[in-house]
């Protein structure tokens, strides 16, 4: 009788406890903003910023192993993903290579890069679509319709919803006919291959496009002052690069100010070198920007 009772208790424990254990061990994807943190002396403040837009240098991730991210996803070089220092995880952004005009939607699901002079770290596959080998100059914009849906999920407290399934991740679509000079039959074959792959890995709609890039000057925006004397004194203090500093007059809400920038920079190597010098002088918010050339 005792043996029969113990057997019943064991069966009861297995039947009613196993689902709970299984549920606890399943990976869960969550919406993550995160707390402020520091990289080499510079603070970063994560936020859910739907107006985010930035121009800067990106690098390419070289790690061979996949890595679990803060919000429960996986960062893999085989997927179209990226790392960003402050945007909420996950966030979908539109990334445009300012050198060749290629642009795609990319899912940000991890923190990085661990470099104060670069704004984004691409997976190898994302970099391949943008035709970036090791680093490049890009423009990043939020894809609002996708991130707003994620925000709605968060507000409605649907914490158990699988974001990978329900947000922005349908079949992968690549508009090859606008990008490659191939006949219609070859285009269709490529589309079929991409579509088959997407069924297995659940890709986001990357919407690959190529647009014409207008000529531009690459500069660094350092700071601005209300009077010319302060701007001139700063230029003198930046001795290693004072021959590359430019002071210009501007207007903001009817008030004049003196903008301190660099002269046009030719290469990304030079841009990073100058950024490093400027930040060492205490101007951590200095950023790259582009000024369109007049035709």
pLDDT computed for residue 287 by the predictor: 94
- For the beta sheet containing 245-252, the strands, ordered from the edge strand earlier in sequence to the opposite edge, are 245-252, 255-262, 216-225, 287-292
Q: How many CB atoms lie within 10 A of CB 105?
A: 19
Biggest alpha carbon distance in the chain? Answer: 97
Q: What is the pLDDT along the chain (295 residues), one digit of tens a residue?
A: 556 555 555 655 555 554 443 344 445 778 889 999 999 888 999 998 888 999 999 999 999 999 999 889 999 999 999 999 999 999 999 999 999 999 999 999 999 999 999 999 999 999 999 999 999 999 999 986 544 555 556 555 455 555 454 444 333 344 433 444 444 445 444 444 343 333 333 457 888 999 998 999 999 999 999 999 999 999 999 988 989 999 999 998 889 999 999 999 999 999 999 999 998 888 988 999 999 987 6
Q: How far apart are CA 58 and CA 99, in angstroms?
A: 12
Question: Is residue 132 left, alpha or beta, with left meaning phi > 0 and alpha meaning psi from -120 to 50?
Answer: beta
> What per-residue confidence (pLDDT) applies to 40?
87
DSSP collapsed to 3 states, the chain: CHHHHHHHHHHHHHHHHHHHHHHHHCCCCCCECCCCEEECCEEECCECCCCCEEEEEEEECCCCCCEECCCCCEECCCCCEEECCCECECEEEEEEECCCCEEEEEEEEECCCCCCCEEEEECHHHHHHHCCCCEEEEEEEECHHHHHHHHHHHHCCCCCCCHHHHCCCCCCCECHHHCCCCCHHHHHHHHHHHHHHHHHHCCCCCCEEECCCCCEEEEEEEEEECCHHHHHHHHHHCHHHHHHEEEEEEEECCEEEEEEEECCECCHHHHHHHHHHHHHCCCCCCEEEEEECCC
Q: What is the reported pTM?
A: 0.71
Write down the pLDDT at residue 180: 45
Q: What is the pLDDT of residue 264?
A: 96
> What's the pLDDT score for residue 41?
86
Domains in the chain and their CATH numbers? 25-213 (2.40.40.10), 216-292 (3.30.70.1070)
**What pLDDT is attached to residue 230?**
95
Residue 276: C-alpha distances to residues 40, 128, 207, 279, 287 (Å): 12, 28, 35, 5, 11
């Amino acid at each position: 009788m005792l043996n029969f009772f113990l057997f019943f208790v064991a069966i009861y424990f297995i039947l009613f406890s196993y689902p709970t254990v299984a549920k606890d061990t399943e990976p869960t994807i969550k919406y993550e903003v995160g707390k402020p943190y520091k990289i080499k002396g510079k603070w970063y403040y994560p936020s859910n910023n739907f107006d985010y837009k930035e121009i800067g240098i990106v690098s390419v991730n070289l790690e061979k192993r996949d890595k679990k991210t803060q919000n429960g996803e996986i960062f893999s070089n085989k997927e179209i993903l990226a790392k960003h220092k402050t945007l909420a995880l996950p966030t979908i952004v539109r990334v445009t290579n300012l050198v060749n005009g290629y642009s795609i939607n990319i899912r940000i699901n991890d923190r990085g890069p661990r470099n104060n002079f670069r704004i984004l770290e691409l997976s190898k596959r994302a970099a391949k679509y943008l035709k970036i080998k090791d680093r490049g100059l890009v423009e990043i914009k939020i894809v609002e319709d996708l991130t707003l849906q994620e925000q709605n999920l968060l507000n409605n407290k649907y914490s158990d919803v699988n974001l990978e399934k329900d947000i922005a991740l349908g079949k992968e679509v690549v508009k090859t006919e606008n990008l490659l000079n191939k006949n219609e039959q070859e285009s269709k074959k490529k589309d079929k291959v991409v579509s088959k792959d997407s069924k297995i890995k659940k890709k986001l709609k990357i919407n690959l496009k190529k647009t014409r890039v207008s000529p531009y000057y690459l500069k660094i925006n350092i700071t601005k002052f209300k009077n010319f004397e302060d701007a001139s004194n700063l230029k003198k203090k930046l001795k290693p690069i004072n021959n590359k500093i430019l002071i210009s007059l501007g207007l903001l809400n009817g008030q004049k100010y003196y903008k301190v920038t660099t002269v046009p920079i030719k290469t990304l190597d030079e841009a990073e070198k100058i950024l490093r010098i400027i930040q060492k002088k205490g101007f951590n918010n200095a950023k790259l920007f582009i000024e369109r050339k007049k035709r």
